[in-house]
Amino acid sequence: MYSAAPAERILAAADKLFYTQGIRAVGVDAVAAEAGVSKRTLYNHYPSKDALIAAYLTARFRQITPSDAPAREQLLGAFDRLERILADGSFRGCPYVNAVIEIGDPKHQAAGIAVQFKEQRRLWYRALLERMGIGAADALATQLQILSEGALAAALVRGDPSLARSARAAAEVLIDNAVTRRRRTRSRARSA
């Protein structure tokens, strides 16, 4: 057994081609050829292109490995990781946003997967902010995600990875502002 099982090779080929060239631009034949597999075999493992798209998005849905590092460090580290992603030559935007735009239909399974992924990320932000004792963690988590999304979209158009640093700096201000307000609130309560 030299190479992986057909289903995995097909998924790897779909991931590569769908992401780098776009879902609509890549035909089923191209995926099969890239996977070194006949079209018949592809349709044996995935009943339709839509199913393959859903599998592609789900496979990108990797769980975030929990870390013991300080919350603030983890949050800002996410933006550092973002910069490396943007600087990678094969960067082509967020696969979930791309899928939503390329497919169009909000009732397509891919749209639901995209919502799930975004919400998972937001909850990860929120949990870390709560660990920092920030009261408005939910609202701030949404804002951090907006920054992250914005950096992705802006970098896609402008082709400038340094936008991740701009987003990181903004995140820092927002987080620090929330922390300061919490300190002020607490000291006011103490002096009362």
Partner DNA sequence: GGTCAGGTAAACAGATCGGTTTACCTATGA
Partner DNA sequence: TCATAGGTAAACCGATCTGTTTACCTGACC
Task: By CB under 7 A, name the binding residues for DNA.
Answer: 6, 26-30, 36-41, 43-44, 47-50
Contacting residues for 170 by C-beta, under 8 A, at least 6 apart: 147
Q: What are phi and psi of 38, to 5 degrees?
A: -75, 155
Q: Contact between 115 and its own copies (CB under 8 A)?
A: yes
The single residue among 74, 123, 143, 179 that binds its own copies, judged by CB under 8 A, is: 143
**CA-CA distances (angstroms) from residue 96 to 60, 65, 154, 176?**
9, 20, 16, 30
Q: Contact between 75 and its own copies (CB under 8 A)?
A: no
The site map against its own copies for 47-66 (x = CB under 8 A) is --------------------
* C-alpha span between 186 and 192 (Å, rounded): 10
Which CB sits closer to DNA, 27 or 106? 27
Which CB sits closer to its own copies, 10 or 113? 113
* C-alpha span between 175 and 143 (Å, rounded): 10
Number of residues that bind its own copies (CB under 8 A): 45
Q: Is 161 in a helix, a strand, or coil?
A: coil
- Could you tell me the two tokens for 57? 């998005």
The single residue among 1, 173, 189, 192 that binds its own copies, judged by CB under 8 A, is: 173
Name the residue with tokens 């158009």: 157
- Residue ranges binding its own copies (CB under 8 A): 21-22, 24-25, 92-94, 96-98, 100-102, 104, 106, 111, 114-115, 118-119, 139, 142-143, 145-154, 156-159, 163, 166-167, 169-170, 173-174, 177
